[in-house]
Amino acid sequence: MGRGRVELKRIENKINRQVTFSKRRNGLLKKAYELSVLCDAEVGLIIFSSRGKLYEFGSAGLSKTLERYQRCCYTPQDNSATDRETQNWSQELSKLKAKYETLQRSQRHLLGEDLGPLSVKELQQLERQLEVALSQARQRKTQILMDQMEELRRKERRLGDINKQLKSKLESDGQGSFRGIQGTWESGTVVGNNAFAVNPSHANPIDCEPTLQIGTGPAESNFVQGWVL
């Protein structure tokens, strides 16, 4: 009596599934070994159980077989290199688009938009981020204001020094002008618009007796007039 065909579907019974896995795994490893010996083929076999346990077989060493597989798959043949490059660029573009969308979503969240899908934990994390950003902004603003105040103080001190210098210069110039005016007055130089002084040592008396005589003879003596200045 022959065996019936086994329906290819997942075995629901855990014990039967484990027994079937062990039997067929051993048979598969045996077949791989027989194929490598009978046909002089390089065979590599990797099996992971449902529990994550690894079973492997390599007729020439599994690492060597994998390296050969990679060289064979990534060797440029015809347009395969161009296709792989295009695929790589497509994957890179997809990653950049996903990153861009994530950044846009984060920006909207920081602006207080699209907060509906966020959970309580995500909202708390967003709140912490905003508090940190606000604290940093306030610290930066305070630093800028302090720098501006220090610059204004330096300008004030500089203007005060300039003011002192100008005041000292004006005082020195005023004393020099006063001494010049005083010396001029003592020396007898003209001062003002209408007042003047004359040094008596340079004054000469005017000795003259001006007379005016009209006529040439005694007969005309009655007409003589004298002018005394």
Question: What is the pLDDT of the chain when averaged over all its residues?
Answer: 77
Q: What contacts 55, CB < 8 A, 6 or more positions away?
A: 25, 29, 45, 46, 47, 48, 49
Q: Kindly report, residue by residue over 78-89, the tens digit of the pLDDT.
A: 556 667 778 888
CA 138/CA 148 separation, integer angstroms: 15
Q: What angle do CA 25, 28, 32 make, to 5 degrees?
A: 140
pLDDT score recorded for residue 129: 87
Give residue 6's pLDDT band: very low, low, confident or very high (50, 70, 90). Answer: low
Q: Kindly report, residue by residue over 117-138, the tens digit of the pLDDT.
A: 778 888 888 888 889 989 999 9
Q: Kindly report, residue by residue over 183-206, the tens digit of the pLDDT.
A: 555 555 444 444 444 444 444 444
What phi and psi, each to the nearest 5 degrees, are found at residue 220?
A: -100, 15
User: Residue 121 CB: number of other CB atoms within 10 A?
Assistant: 8
Over 80: is that where the pLDDT of 30 sits?
yes
Over 50: is that where the pLDDT of 58 sits?
yes
DSSP state of 4: P
Q: Show the 3-state SS of 53-110.
A: CEEEEECCCHHHHHHHHHHHHCCCCCCHHHHHHHHHHHHHHHHHHHHHHHHHHHHHHH
CA 115/CA 123 separation, integer angstroms: 8
Report H helices in the chain: 14-38, 62-73, 80-110, 120-187
CA 178/CA 176 separation, integer angstroms: 5
CA 47/CA 56 separation, integer angstroms: 6
Distance of CA 184 to the CA centre of its chain: 68
pLDDT score recorded for residue 24: 92
| 3-state SS, residue 5 | coil
The letter for the amino acid at 80 is S
The letter for the amino acid at 24 is R
The better pLDDT of the pair 5, 205 is held by 5
